[in-house]
Amino acid sequence: MKSMSDPSLTPALHFRFRDVDDLGREAGLRSRPGHFDGQTLWLDAAMLPIEQIRKTQRRHDRLIVHLDPTSYAGLMVDSLAFSVCDGAIDALHSSLNELVSARRVAERREMMKSRRELDSCRSEECPHCRSTLDLTGFEETPQIYCDFCDTVYTADGSGPDDEAEFSLCDRSRLYARSRVFIESFVPWRRRRVHACNAAFAPTARRMLLCSLPLLVGVPIALHQLGRVLLGGEARSRGFRGLSRANADALSGRTDRAIAGYRELAQTLGPAAGVRYNEGLAAAKAEYFAEAVLAFEAALEDCANYRPAAELLALSLQRIGDQQGLEDLAARWHGEPVPATQTFKLRLADAA
């Protein structure tokens, strides 16, 4: 486990930032100074100690800081976001997550030590983002989920070479290879979006139709449509067929999508993300009994896969399985139990 006093984890990072609104748009033209000193994130005169931060996510030049719901700041807002217009956003993002995750595991160890249960502590370092993962209380399974980079990786390294490139799509909430696309329906307005092929395909087709009358936006629309058809998970050898199954799921062809996910999962072996997609497709079609089985299979492959646990709880609630909810809560050790939380993500949000 990394030490929180490791100087490599406490760089003095200076940057300039702009606030963003709820839609991710920059608010105002003037940038302000910020810095991270290894203990506190300073945003101009505002300070945010790392003990109040749960994790950070990066989208392009935007940094989203998720707050600990039990902290003073977390009681007021769930998260805050800003754009980094000057400075190393990669270093800021990774350093915050490394320190926050190491602190969380250190606190867990101190708590378990006071209970004389230190031997039951278990943690791993994510091979992709170097965050420290708290696995205490979870069964050892073939795969491990990193909540900081949102990836599922195979513990013994036998998974597909590109599995680190797959995570949940911001738009569809499906497990896929998300990428940056340019969305533009009029020539003078463009924006970058982070989505998977299946989720962005309808947008790319609408862009092409909208650009035909003036012809100005046709090259951009064709380029984005070509990327959808030829890139992403469509080029993956290990996850071949995932993009097609995702497109079926989003188009309402549920039975075909489920068949595709099952075939791919049999090929991959441990495949928590693919099993999660199967459960999500079944839940959207209100096949809740099938969804429960798929989400349980995802957790058998990856015991700490929070997205599957959250939707498993929702599915169990829909079929009225109180015993199943209690069993899920018992398996989730000391973390906030998905079965007892009020979820912002509804099944309809995955449409």
Q: If DSSP codes are grouped into helix, strand and coil, which group holds residue 60? A: coil
Instruction: List per-residue pLDDT tens for the chain, 351 residues long.
Output: 454 444 344 457 899 999 887 767 777 778 999 999 889 999 998 889 999 999 999 888 889 999 888 777 767 778 888 999 888 899 999 999 999 999 989 988 888 878 777 777 889 999 999 999 999 889 999 999 999 999 999 999 888 999 999 999 988 999 999 888 888 887 777 888 888 999 999 988 998 888 887 777 788 888 888 888 887 666 788 898 999 999 999 999 999 999 999 999 999 999 999 999 999 999 999 999 999 999 999 999 999 999 999 999 999 989 998 888 888 888 876 454 444 443 333 333 333
Residue 63, beta-bridge partner list: 58, 82
pLDDT of residue 262: 96
CA-CA distance, 235 to 255, in Å (whole number)? 24
DSSP at 71: S
CA 267 remoteness from chain centre: 24
Burial class (CB in 10 A: 0-12, 13-18, 19+), 330: exposed
pTM here is 0.86
Contact by Cβ (8 Å): 143, 152: yes
Structural domains in the chain, sorted by start: 1-135 (2.30.29.30), 178-234 (no CATH), 251-350 (1.25.40.10)
